[in-house]
Amino acid sequence: MAESCLASPAKINLCLHVLGRREDGYHELAMAMQRVDLCDRICLRITEGSYVRVICEGVVLGAGEENIAAKAARLLLHEAQVVAGVEVEIEKHIPVAAGLGGGSSNAATVLLGLNRLLDLGVRHERLLELGAELGADVPFFIHGVPAWATGIGTELTTLPPLPDVAYLLVNPKIAVSTAWAYQSLRLTKGGELANLPRFSVVTRDDLCAALHNDLERVTLERYPLLAKIKQLLLEKGACGSLMSGSGATVFGVFADYTAACQAAEKLAQEYDWLFYPVRPL
């Protein structure tokens, strides 16, 4: 039985502009995204038969729903016209519904991992297209490096090297629905990509000055605790703080990993939240 175990990293949004709502129901976005070393662990096993099974302890799906990792496996097998038994075991470390892209990362990891494990030879460009069928963030994780994402998030341009920093992710154990956040956003006249300030950062101060997330307008209003967390991160030494995606995870930018760990230790003495000091990938 062939087997491969892989890390499936989380992401943070350093910048998230919502430019408008499209006729197909999606939103036109402009985002700067970076992966971090908070990772789920995914083990892929190939067996005899013709089935896909996902084992993911602690994650409960609604009636009729299928884990996105299972959809990814089925999609790739169909693309390659291969019959195989596939078992996907996911060990979750990334919080669910937290704005960190855990499900999208899992799907991308399955596509990449199965392509190698079965030696399918599906080209990188085609994997990006398959990823876009599964979810708007999936291609970013296949892309694998910091990127500027436009359209619905699937049009990717690699960013220049980002400053050497560390982040402290703070999750107050609140789950936020991405669909709710976008539906609640009161959009004014659609913005234009050309009018956005360029995401051009060289230093840590540049990065902190560029942090932006349009979804904070609705999520922080409904969950004022997140605004408190942003302030606490600044008080503990972060040069900037931002909510990632639709929340509820908030991150602070620190000079190095040691500083992020020290801030986590101080905050953990007072608050029963989830703290993840991380390094960028």
Q: Which residues are catalytic?
A: 11, 137
d(CA 259, CA 277): 9
* Residue 200 burial (CB count, 10 A): 9
Relative to beta strand 2-21, strand 27-47 is antiparallel
- Four-residue CA torsion sign, 220, 225, 228, 230: negative
Nearest CA to 68 among 47, 98, 88, 91?
A: 88
Any residues with CB less than 8 A from the CB of 136 and at least 6 apart, and which?
26, 29, 104, 152, 153, 154
- Residue appearing with tokens 């919080």: 95
d(CA 144, CA 274): 26
Relative to beta strand 2-21, strand 274-278 is unpaired
Relative to beta strand 2-21, strand 212-213 is parallel
